[in-house]
């Protein structure tokens, strides 16, 4: 189940998006926020897979919220849904690592697909926005960004090695042999990693590692 939070200063917009998304049985809208403070509170409580955010919010700075969410909830992916867009804000959104920057004119089916794609760590680009724009920017994979993930979630170097092995598809016994650990230690460490990052299984952990390019930490 893909857990979604909506953030838009218009309650009616949130209710409309919720109605559209929940037509798909694999998506659950866990709540919506009318301002940045409530959005952060919901992220803290729910740890959603996707946060859908209206860029043109009268409450504070949208990109401050984006940075805060990515810093404290790195497993959450963000889609900006806006009624209008321009190159400057589009570029800024990409630089800040959002998974998608979509117009509110998007079709219901396209929005549902975009949410599912973002939950898997993929970037989504609407057909109205030139594809070549995405090629100009790198996702959130700088060494500084990766280190902030580790620091904010108290991930140790040993845990990072285990995350890498999980992303490679290795079983607990293989990881244990490679790291000279017991299978029980590996199993317990992976469970702790799930808890720290708000993830539920090895698939989500592998997606997290790939999305954040944790293999490039050396």
What is the residue-level pLDDT of the chain in tens, covering all 218 positions? 999 999 988 889 899 999 999 999 999 999 999 888 899 999 999 999 999 998 665 455 677 888 888 888 888 999 988 876 666 677 777 777 788 888 888 889 889 989 998 888 777 776 665 554 545 444 444 455 556 656 666 788 899 889 989 888 899 999 999 999 999 999 999 999 988 887 888 877 877 776 666 665 55
The size of the chain, in residues, is 218
CATH 3.40.50.2300 range(s) for the chain read: 2-136
Instruction: State if pTM tops 0.85.
Output: no
CATH number of 143-216: 1.10.10.10
Tell me how far apart the alpha carbons of residues 113 and 156 are, in angstroms, rounded to a whole number: 35
Task: Assign 3-state DSSP to the chain and report helix, strand, coil percentages, each to 5.
Answer: 55, 15, 35
CA-CA-CA-CA dihedral for 30, 93, 68, 150, to nearest 10: 100
Architecture of domain 2-136: 3-Layer(aba) Sandwich (3.40)
Q: Distance of CA 52 to CAs 131, 135, 174, 195, Å?
A: 21, 23, 39, 23
Residue 123 sits at φ, ψ, to 5 deg, of -90, 145
CATH 1.10.10.10 range(s) for the chain read: 143-216
């Amino acid at each position: 189940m893909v857990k979604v939070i909506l953030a838009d200063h218009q309650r009616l917009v949130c209710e409309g998006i919720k109605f559209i998304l929940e037509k798909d049985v694999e998506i659950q809208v866990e709540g919506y926020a009318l301002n940045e403070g409530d959005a952060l509170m919901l992220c803290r409580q729910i740890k959603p897979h996707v946060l859908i955010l209206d860029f043109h919010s009268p409450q504070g700075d949208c990109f401050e919220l984006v940075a805060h969410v990515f810093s404290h909830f790195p497993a959450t992916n963000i889609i900006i849904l806006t009624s209008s867009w321009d190159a400057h804000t589009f570029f800024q959104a990409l630089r800040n690592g959002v998974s998608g920057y979509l117009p509110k004119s998007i079709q219901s089916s396209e929005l549902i697909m975009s949410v599912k794609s973002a939950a898997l760590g993929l970037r989504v680009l609407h057909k109205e926005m030139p594809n070549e724009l995405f090629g100009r920017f790198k996702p959130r994979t700088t060494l500084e960004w990766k280190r902030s993930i580790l620091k904010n979630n108290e991930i140790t170097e040993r845990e990072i090695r285990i995350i890498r092995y999980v992303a490679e598809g290795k079983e607990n016994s293989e990881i244990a042999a490679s790291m000279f650990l017991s299978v029980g230690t590996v199993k317990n460490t992976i469970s702790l990693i799930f808890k720290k990052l708000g993830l539920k299984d090895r698939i989500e952990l592998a997606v997290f590692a790939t999305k954040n390019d944790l293999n490039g930490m050396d």
